Amino acid sequence: MGEFKHFVIVKFKEGVAVEDLTKGMEKLVSEIDVVKSFEWGQDIESLDVLRQGFTHAFLMTFDKKEDFVAFQSHPNHVEFSTKFSVAIENIVLLDFPSTLVKAPA
């Protein structure tokens, strides 16, 4: 069975200190053990029409759905989400069990 993924894409409001937020997120995941892996990035390559204004992607991996649920209700996450949500203009979240088709060597 695959892992459980929490996938977030974001467009930040103008003037937001994005680096503070990404640092905050890095700190957050380092504090919460059930987050198995975390990676993020800022789009540099996609066409504007395909990017639709979104600029940042955040991907968290959990061993199982229950770990994701525990993460969501963790007080540090709840606190961070409040701070994060005021900084964003648009967001899409997708949470799903992952089907791994091709694995890293």
Give contact residues for a copy of itself (rule: CB under 8 A). Answer: 2, 5, 7, 9, 26, 29-30, 35-47, 50-52, 54-57, 59, 61, 65, 68, 91-105
Q: Which is nearer to a copy of itself, 16 or 91 (CB)?
A: 91
Buried b (16+ CB within 10 A) or exposed e, 36-64: eebeeeeeeeeeeeeeeebbbebebbbee
Closest separation between CB of residue 95 and a copy of itself, Å? 4
Closest separation between CB of residue 58 and a copy of itself, Å? 10
Q: Are 67 and 3 in contact (CB under 8 A)?
A: no
